[in-house]
Amino acid sequence: MTIPTEAPTEAPPESPAETPDSPPDNARGGVGESPQRPDATLKVTGEFAYGSDLWMDDMLWGVTLRSPHPYARIRNIDIGEALATAGVFAVLTHEDVPGNKTFGLEIADQPVLAIDTVRYQGEPVALVAADHPEIARQAAKKIKVDYDVLEPVTDARTALGHSTPDLHGELAEEVTELSREAAHLHPQGNLVRHLKVRVGDPTPSADVVVVGEYHVGMQDQAFLGPEAGLAVPDDVGGVDLYIATQWLHVDQRQICAALNLRPDQVRLSLAGVGGAFGGREDLSMHVHGCLLALHTRKPIKMVYNREESFFGHVHRHPATMRYEHGADRDGTLVYVKAEIYLDGGAYASSTPAVVGNAGTMGLGPYVVPHIHVDCYGVYTNNPPCGAMRGFGSVQAAFAYEAQMDKLAASLGMDPVELRIVNAMAEGSLAPTGQIIDSAAPVVELLERLRAMPLPPALDSSDLRHLPGGVSNTTHGEGVRRGVGYAVAYKNVAFSEGYDDYSTARVRLEVVGGAPQATVHTAAAEVGQGLVTVEQQICRTELGVDTVVVQPKDTQVGSGGSTSASRQTYVTGGAVQAACHKVRERLLALTQDYLHETLHDLRLEGGMVVSDTRGAVASIADVLGAKALEETLEWRHRKTEPIDPEKGQGFAHVQYAFAAHRAVVDVDVELGLVKVVELACTQDVGKAINPDAVVGQIQGGSTQGMGLALMEEIQISEGKIRNPSFTDYLIPTILDTPPMPIEVLEYADPHAPYGLRGVGEAPTISSGPAVMAAIRDACGLELTRVPVRPEHIIDSGDGRGSRGEPKRRQP
Amino acid sequence: MRVTMTVNDEHHEVDDVWEGESLLYVLRERMGLPGSKNACEQGECGSCTVYVDGVTGCACLIAAGQAQGHHIVTVEGLATEDGLHPVQEAFIEAGAVQCGFCTPGLLVQTDDLLRRDPEPSDAEIREALAGNLCRCTGYEKILDAVRLAASRMKPEPGTLS
Ligand code: FES
Ligand code: FES
């Protein structure tokens, strides 16, 4: 299937036909179509209530006092003056946390409010509630915290006591004992996880060997809607929290533990979410808002501003990666050795899973007979890092794809050919020893990409097409074009034995004479369009036009996280399964209604339809006053933990594959880059909503491109130097090129409808393709992202002004 | 201080406004018009774009006092009794709305573009929307939406006030 970038859109579903005698059209807006999102009208009129829009008459504003230091002991906290400020209702510290004083997604190592130590700049220390946000902010400044400032640990290798290896020397010895030189930030030391993969010959040799060390900077999710929520106390010690989040139930579990309350006392509802991309998987103000609400007995609104948002959520792990690839003369890979350091910052968050992905997916979609990978997740005093779209794989892809290009150059091979020679296919062995047991069309993705027409040559008569644009930095002199390719490979859903499930409640009844389905899940809609997909599945499975999506809340079981490209798969699977149970009951009712047994019935267009006899009854007539409701949990195939010594095991349930071709114009004199086009091919198994698939690919591609070119939280001495949209740049419409897309649909027989998770893969390959294109244009190695102008500028001696070595030419 | 202004053709009067409060804060928190979004408060994202006397600007950069006596139009003022504004319809149909946080600002800015230039080229659309960040869509469907709206909107004389 080829989806043009200007896809026609479907008309909104109309009211169902009233007369059962004339069978209505097939349910409109089912699976495979692109109906309008149910929240679209509210979003274009400004009525959609995001977390920051919530409001109650008697509410107070909560603010957070954060540590200015990356690492310090707290000697004393004096809240007296703050508490005495007119308009202030409460000032709270760790002493006011009634339950567990620490929380965390996988490891509960992060204090709700700092206890005796702060481990990163921006760590929450105290809370204030007041009747105006400015009063609260001013009062927070009056809290006196006596800090004993310590030297922060800011480098991942140093934190582990590992030496920095010489680029051309041997890989570092495996380190078993932690250095005593770096301070231990947590009692168990600074290592969060060390993942090893050992496959084949431990001392392989090859005809051609290329080595490289690569660095990826810290990226921010930069969702547009900052963290926001409203906590409302009830009269009996419980609380309702309306919050923009990615996973209501994991929030609820952590909030209950911190507040020492039962789940029925902590009820969460999803407020409108202004984008997430991983940054809302951890708690932000959740416990804080609830604590203030319970203390003041008033509703508490908390909204971070942009600066606070940079301190208020985890970021993408920065990575330092050293790779060694060995291949035969014909390009066949013999071995890969990789050493990957992921700086997890002060608290664990999802670092173990990020290490799992980088370590097991970090060689890319290529068949490698001999493998030696060490992947480390490390505590430092840098900002905490955790989930962000494509995590683990995004970082590794910059390294493995740069290595593939370097290898191609050494062999005098075309980079696409080299990838094709080594591409995984269905039946290939992954580094975990798993057989890839559904489509892996890496070769086809590359071939289709290569066959797509290239954009026209640079038209330097229009400044807007040139690097630097209307800044008038060039009229075409010094501008060189480059083309680069990269391939993504990402595990979908939760891996390594995690009990990954979602819950759906589906109800079918007659409303106003027509059948109506209601679907209720707790799976967070963050902008991606899950609410539309839930409706589509109900329409297809139940043959109804009208599907009401219940607000997302904890009144129904967990939907799992809106992350890991998993919701359409797992919550989609749960909704489909619940629909099937409802349908079974409806068909049984139909037999009673018709007083006969028919075995070829299906639901379509509001009717019960027999394959042989056509429409036999209307769903409305069969149902009458009855409502059919089913709730169930649905799980994907079980995965298993990988073994700690060799990294083997059935760790991943599904893989997503995407490929990008980037075309860039680079002003090699000024180091400015204009991305001319970013083409993508992706296998999605089955496009449940083709327009939304394209939207995910385009949005994801843009985020990957942003990391390659501009997006970096700049840290020095553990401090964020650019916590604003003035200084942290994300791509604007001027930076973002046309993105032609071809979508393949090779069904995965293990997944609902054969679908494959979509959201992350395009974020993984777009950046490496852009980097490959820039290298192609300027001939430098460029081992660091985001690439900066000073890396690109050719100083005349064949090196960038920063001494970037010239790429070896074949 | 007391501030009065016309918002979406309605007269508004608010008391106890602090001097430091922005037009955006007053719209959102004092007038019950949260459609304009706050994503940066620095004039970098365009989520808070409104018309002030027919000219678009960032409400986060305008002090509430500066809006005294002026005519403001926000996203809430785009639709009419007859239904959605063509730009709103085009954004829905083109799939240009994902999380939607950028949408209010983009709608106002697009409306302004199409009033000034009913048939903008892609390069002109990009220039006009360069101050509006979107993190979800990669802008392709936003371009589609603007083209679609342009194809449907007939130029009308006069400007919005
Ligand atoms: S909030 Fe006004 S420009 Fe960002
Ligand atoms: S749709 Fe989410 S920021 Fe634009």
Q: What is the DSSP string of A373-384?
A: EEEEEE--SSPP
Measure the CA–CA gap between A376 and A319, rounded to whole angstroms: 10
CB distance A326 to A206 below 8 Å: yes
Q: Amino acid identity of A545?
A: D
CA proximity to B47, closest of A730, A57, A464: A730
CB distance A315 to A219 below 8 Å: yes
A798 — pLDDT class (breaks 50, 70, 90):
low
Residue A162 has pLDDT above 80, yes or no: yes
Q: Which residue of A has its CA nearest to B38?
A: A225
Closest Cβ–Cβ partner in A224, A306, A734 for B99: A224
Average pLDDT over residues A269-275: 98
Q: Which residue of A has its CA nearest to B147?
A: A6
Separation in Å, CA of A218 to nearest CA in chain B: 17
CB distance A437 to A639 below 8 Å: no
CB distance A125 to A96 below 8 Å: no
Average pLDDT over residues A76-87: 98
On chain A, the residues whose CB falls within 8 A of the CB of B36 are 46
Assess whether the C-beta atom of B39 lies below 6 angstroms from ligand 1: yes
Helical segments of A177-247, H only: none
Residue A675 has pLDDT above 70, yes or no: yes
Q: At what angle do helices A567-594 and A530-542 cross, to 10 degrees?
A: 30
CB distance A63 to A133 below 8 Å: yes
Q: Amino acid identity of A209?
A: V
DSSP type of residue A190: S
- The ligand whose atoms approach the alpha carbon of B25 most closely is 1
What CATH class is the domain B86-153? mainly alpha
Tell me the CA–centroid distance for residue A221 and ligand 2, in Å. 12
Number of the ligand 1 atom closest to the C-alpha atom of B58:
2
Number of the ligand 2 atom closest to the C-alpha atom of B97:
1
A163 — pLDDT class (breaks 50, 70, 90):
confident
Looking at chain A, how many residues does it have? Answer: 810
Interface test with B, best of A733, A736, A763 (most B CBs within 10 A): A733
What pLDDT score does A183 carry?
85
Residues of chain A with pLDDT > 70: what percent? 92
On chain A, the residues whose CB falls within 8 A of the CB of B14 are none
Number of the ligand 2 atom closest to the C-alpha atom of B106:
4
Assess whether the C-beta atom of B138 lies below 6 angstroms from ligand 2: no
Tell me the CA–centroid distance for residue B100 and ligand 2, in Å. 5
Order of strands, edge to edge, in the sheet holding A266-270? Answer: A88-92, A124-130, A60-66, A300-303, A228-233, A239-243, A266-270
Measure the CA–CA gap between A681 and A683, rounded to whole angstroms: 7
Low-confidence ranges of chain B (pLDDT < 70): 154-161
Per-residue burial over A464-480, b = 16 or more CB atoms within 10 Å of its CB, e = otherwise: ebbbebeeebbeeebbb
Measure the CA–CA gap between A375 and A385, rounded to whole angstroms: 16
Q: Which residue of A has its CA nearest to B36?
A: A46
Average pLDDT over residues A381-408: 98
What 3-state DSSP class applies to B61?
Answer: helix
On chain A, the residues whose CB falls within 8 A of the CB of B73 are none
ipTM of the complex model: 0.96
Tell me the CA–centroid distance for residue B49 and ligand 1, in Å. 7
Separation in Å, CA of A224 to nearest CA in chain B: 5
Say yes or no for a CB contact (<8 Å) between B97 and A40: yes
CB distance A146 to A75 below 8 Å: yes
* Backbone φ/ψ region at A717: left (φ over 0), alpha (ψ -120 to 50), beta: left
Other CB atoms within 10 Å distance of the CB of residue A3: 17
What pLDDT score does A164 carry?
63
On chain A, the residues whose CB falls within 8 A of the CB of B135 are 221-224, 275, 277, 699, 703, 730
Angle at A311 between CA A309 and CA A314, to 5 degrees: 90
Element (DSSP H or E) covering residue A323: strand A319-327
Assess whether the C-beta atom of A224 lies below 6 angstroms from ligand 2: yes
Measure the CA–CA gap between B28 and B49, rounded to whole angstroms: 13
Question: Which residue's CA is the nearest one to ligand 2's atom 2?
Answer: B99
Tell me the CA–centroid distance for residue A775 and ligand 2, in Å. 31
B102 burial via Cβ count (<10 Å: 0-12, 13-18, 19+): buried
Residue A491 has pLDDT above 70, yes or no: yes
Residue A172 has pLDDT above 50, yes or no: no
Other CB atoms within 10 Å distance of the CB of residue A58: 7
DSSP type of residue A49: -
Report whether the peptide linkage leading into residue A233 is cis, meaning its omega lies within 30 degrees of zero.
Answer: no
Average pLDDT over residues A109-124: 98
DSSP A732-773: -TTTPPP--EEEE----TTSGGG----SSHHHHHHHHHHHHH
Measure the CA–CA gap between A565 and A495, rounded to whole angstroms: 12
Tell me the CA–centroid distance for residue A444 and ligand 2, in Å. 32
DSSP type of residue A412: T
Average pLDDT over residues A230-240: 97
Other CB atoms within 10 Å distance of the CB of residue A424: 23
CB distance B116 to B48 below 8 Å: no
What 3-state DSSP class applies to A540?
Answer: helix
Assess whether the C-beta atom of B39 lies below 6 angstroms from ligand 2: no
**pLDDT one-digit tens code per residue, A607-623:** 999 999 999 999 999 99
CB distance A348 to A107 below 8 Å: yes
What number does CATH give the domain A51-151+221-312?
A: 3.90.1170.50
Q: Amino acid identity of A1?
A: M
Separation in Å, CA of A149 to nearest CA in chain B: 31
What pLDDT score does A20 carry?
32
CATH 3.90.1170.50 maps onto chain A at 51-151+221-312
Assess whether the C-beta atom of B146 lies below 6 angstroms from ligand 1: no
Q: At what angle do helices B140-152 and B86-93 cross, to 10 degrees?
A: 140
Residue A281 has pLDDT above 50, yes or no: yes
Mean of the per-residue pLDDT values of chain A: 93
B24 burial via Cβ count (<10 Å: 0-12, 13-18, 19+): buried
Measure the CA–CA gap between A641 and A652, rounded to whole angstroms: 9
Distances (CA, A) of B56 to B7, B22, B48, B156: 14, 16, 10, 18
Closest Cβ–Cβ partner in B75, B125, B143 for A46: B75
* Backbone φ/ψ region at A37: left (φ over 0), alpha (ψ -120 to 50), beta: beta
Assess whether the C-beta atom of B131 lies below 6 angstroms from ligand 1: no
Q: Among 3.40.50.720, 3.30.365.10, 3.40.50.1400, 3.40.50.2300, what is the CATH number of A501-635?
A: 3.30.365.10
Looking at chain B, how many residues does it have? Answer: 161
* Tokens 């130029």, located at residue: B155
**pLDDT one-digit tens code per residue, A525-563:** 999 999 999 999 999 999 999 999 999 999 999 999 999
Number of the ligand 1 atom closest to the C-alpha atom of B43:
3
Does A319-495+641-792 carry CATH code 3.30.365.10? Answer: yes
CA proximity to A123, closest of A192, A74, A52: A74
Assess whether the C-beta atom of B38 lies below 6 angstroms from ligand 1: yes
Bridge partners, residue A687, by sequence: none
Question: Which residue's CA is the nearest one to ligand 2's atom 3?
Answer: B134
Q: Which residue of A has its CA nearest to B102?
A: A224
Does B3-77 carry CATH code 3.10.20.30? Answer: yes
Residue A7 has pLDDT above 90, yes or no: no
Report residue A206 as tokens. Answer: 């090859």
Residue A686 has pLDDT above 90, yes or no: yes
Tell me the CA–centroid distance for residue B57 and ligand 1, in Å. 9
Measure the CA–CA gap between A679 and A737, rounded to whole angstroms: 9
Distances (CA, A) of A761 to A487, A491, A656: 9, 9, 6
What pLDDT score does A4 carry?
37
Closest Cβ–Cβ partner in A224, A305, A733 for B101: A224
Cα torsion A702, A707, A709, A712: sign: positive
Report residue A183 as tokens. Answer: 């301070």
Say yes or no for a CB contact (<8 Å) between B139 and A733: yes
Measure the CA–CA gap between A686 and B44, rounded to whole angstroms: 38
Closest Cβ–Cβ partner in A49, A306, A699 for B42: A306
CATH 1.10.150.120 maps onto chain B at 86-153
Bridge partners, residue A514, by sequence: A511
**pLDDT one-digit tens code per residue, A430-481:** 999 999 999 999 999 999 999 999 999 999 999 999 999 988 999 999 999 9
CB distance A316 to A308 below 8 Å: no
Between A182 and A703, residue with greater pLDDT: A703
Measure the CA–CA gap between A345 and A382, rounded to whole angstroms: 4
Say yes or no for a CB contact (<8 Å) between B132 and A733: yes
Tell me the CA–centroid distance for residue A62 and ligand 1, in Å. 22
Tell me the CA–centroid distance for residue B101 and ligand 2, in Å. 5
Report residue A167 as tokens. Answer: 């680029």
Q: What is the dihedral of CA A588, A594, A596, A600, to 10 degrees?
A: -60
CATH 3.10.20.30 maps onto chain B at 3-77
**pLDDT one-digit tens code per residue, A290-305:** 999 999 999 999 999 9
**What stretches of A131-250 adopt beta strand conformation (E)?**
144-149, 191-199, 208-216, 228-233, 239-243
Largest CA distance in chain B: 46
Report whether the peptide linkage leading into residue A752 is cis, meaning its omega lies within 30 degrees of zero.
Answer: no
Measure the CA–CA gap between B30 and A299, rounded to whole angstroms: 17
Other CB atoms within 10 Å distance of the CB of residue A727: 14
Assess whether the C-beta atom of B136 lies below 6 angstroms from ligand 1: no
CB distance B86 to B149 below 8 Å: yes
On chain B, the residues whose CB falls within 8 A of the CB of A41 are 84, 92
CATH 3.30.365.10 maps onto chain A at 319-495+641-792, 501-635
Average pLDDT over residues A54-78: 97
Measure the CA–CA gap between A287 and A302, rounded to whole angstroms: 11
Average pLDDT over residues A22-29: 53
What pLDDT score does A13 carry?
32
**pLDDT one-digit tens code per residue, A751-785:** 999 999 999 999 999 999 999 999 999 999 999 99
Tell me the CA–centroid distance for residue A224 and ligand 2, in Å. 7
What pLDDT score does A1 carry?
42
Residue A252 has pLDDT above 80, yes or no: yes
What pLDDT score does A177 carry?
45
**What stretches of A344-383 adopt beta strand conformation (E)?**
370-378
Say yes or no for a CB contact (<8 Å) between B20 and A225: no
Number of the ligand 2 atom closest to the C-alpha atom of A224:
3
Q: At what angle do helices B103-116 and B140-152 cross, to 10 degrees?
A: 40
Say yes or no for a CB contact (<8 Å) between A223 and B47: no
A679 — pLDDT class (breaks 50, 70, 90):
very high
What pLDDT score does A801 carry?
61
DSSP A229-246: EEEEE-TTS-EEEEE--S
Q: Which residue of A has its CA nearest to B132?
A: A732
CA proximity to A675, closest of A539, A769, A797, A594: A769
- Of A224, A389, A732, best ligand 2 pocket probe by most atoms within 8 Å of the beta carbon: A224
Measure the CA–CA gap between A514 and A565, rounded to whole angstroms: 35
Number of the ligand 1 atom closest to the C-alpha atom of A725:
4
